[in-house]
Amino acid sequence: MSSLLIRGARHLLTGEAGSGMRHTGPRHDIRVADGVVQALGALEPLPGERVIDASGCVVYPGWVNTHHHLFQSLLKGIPAGIDSALVPWLAAVPVAWRPEIDHEERFRLAVRIGLVELMRSGCTTVADHQYHLYPGIGFDPSAVVFDEAQRLGLRVVLCRGGQTLARPLTDEAAPPSARPVTLDAFLQSVADDVSRFHDAGPRSMRRVVSAITTPNWSCRPEELRVMAREARALGIHLHSHLSETYDYVRWAREAHDCSPMQFVERHGWTGPDVWFAHMVHLSDEELRLCAATGTGIAHCPQSNARLGSGIARIPEALELGVPVGLAVDGAASNEAADMISEAHACWLMHRADPRGGERLRAKQSAAPGRAQRARSASQPGGDASTMQVEEVVHIGTAGGARMMGLSGVGTLAVGMAADIAVYDLDDPRCFGLHDEALAPVVAGGRPRLKALVVDGRVVLEDDRIPGLDLTVLRHQADETVRAMQAARG
Ligand SMILES: [Zn+2]
């Protein structure tokens, strides 16, 4: 198989944490063959080798989005939910509008829009929490997600959601698409998806995860242990939503006299094979429980801000060693559902969070001078009490991949998957930067992609996806939104 050489980049970020993030040396050329990185450094083209000229570019590992709901890509900015908190938003947007997406053609279009949007930000792996599962569903959503991802060349982790119990707060007048399935039907759907699609390899293009929509409201507590046992027997991971709002804390306290993390721990839903989206409202004890068990967090800062849920305690989670990934969540609660927007917002949001300053002051008064040394040990100019740019890149790439068990994905190193975003800094927003390596995160806005490579295959070049006409996609989206609005009067 012929190889590919990405040559002449100004900087290369590896995805590794701390001082290993920056590839050092005078040259950052990268050779790709057989789906993996073959060599890094100063490389001369081989006879017949395809060369991508990356001069003026910076190279990142492809971003890893650890939580999404692709079907929501046709539900952006719905006025009834634009300024709502989680529960009224759920009722007004995803639950109310799901019947309009319950046609294969619309579902497929939504998935395509979401994947294309992510690709154009440099994302190469997408975890889709797909909870279209109800009695009598007339199409095969899992097959559609994998099919669209395969056409575009992306890696997908399909988190098979659904519910065995209706949620009283949002499902009272729910359409059939929000009705529960039996536990057996849920387990069977997960097992079927595993046998049809799942590949357990370290740089798998297709993973399946057991992912009831919430452990609190989507099933009976006693069913959680059965789901966990079945998933582990299949050798797959577990995923769900948890502690997105304070409602989760209140529910666990009132219904079970414990914290949400204690609740899931009691039912077997902690461990290095489990990650939860959001985790905004965690106590110190819950953070320590995540660290002790290796339970991960898909951090969704933009969605958490959009719904007014709060800011997750990610800098503290990282300090304790909790596995963390970055995620956009569904586009119905985050109209900027791409990884560049998410990374930029993540960096700024944590730096604006007053709790970071409080932690730094507490550390300095406890051991004067120590905080300063901790900073210089990790990043020059960084502040160990809040989020650093390189940390955002780490959780958005290697951190997320490791959390989901994709051990061959997420870093740019020899032998690892060749998932590579080559950003061209040819925009005035990047002119004048003293550290261009950080431009994709700090400059805000989407940088142009010179190339995007997934598992060694070029899937986007010169900012274009071969075979995809964005004008057509826009037209299809416009027509569909109009038809959906007309159907709802
Ligand atoms: Zn979600």
Ligand 1 geometric centre to CA of 131 (Å): 10
Beta strands 206-210 and 50-53, pairing class: unpaired
* Domains of the chain with CATH codes: 4-61+417-461 (2.30.40.10), 63-352 (3.20.20.140)
Ligand 1 geometric centre to CA of 328 (Å): 9
Residue 250, C-beta contacts closer than 8 angstroms, at least 6 positions apart:
none
Ligand 1 geometric centre to CA of 244 (Å): 9
Ligand 1 geometric centre to CA of 243 (Å): 11
User: Which tokens hold the place of 431?
Assistant: 């002119």
Answer for the pair 358, 333: CB distance below 8 angstroms, yes or no: no
Q: Greatest CA separation found in the chain?
A: 69
Each of the 489 residues of the chain gets a pLDDT tens digit; together they read 689 999 999 999 999 999 999 999 999 999 999 999 999 999 999 999 999 999 999 999 999 999 999 999 999 999 999 999 999 999 899 988 988 998 999 999 999 999 999 999 999 999 999 998 888 889 999 999 999 999 999 999 999 999 999 877 666 666 777 789 999 999 999 999 999 999 999 999 999 999 999 999 999 999 999 999 999 999 999 999 999 999 999 999 999 999 999 999 999 999 999 999 999 999 999 999 999 999 999 999 999 999 999 999 999 999 999 999 999 999 999 999 999 999 999 999 999 998 888 888 887 787 655 444 344 334 445 555 789 999 999 999 999 999 999 999 999 999 999 999 999 999 999 999 999 999 999 999 999 999 999 999 999 999 999 999 999 999 999 999 999 999 988
Q: In this structure, what is the dihedral angle of CA atoms 146, 147, 148, 151, given to the nearest 10 degrees? A: 120
The SS3 call for residue 274 is strand
Distances 487 to 74, 97, 101, 479 between C-alpha atoms, Å:
14, 10, 12, 12
Ligand 1 geometric centre to CA of 431 (Å): 36
pTM above 0.75, yes or no: yes
Ligand 1 geometric centre to CA of 360 (Å): 31
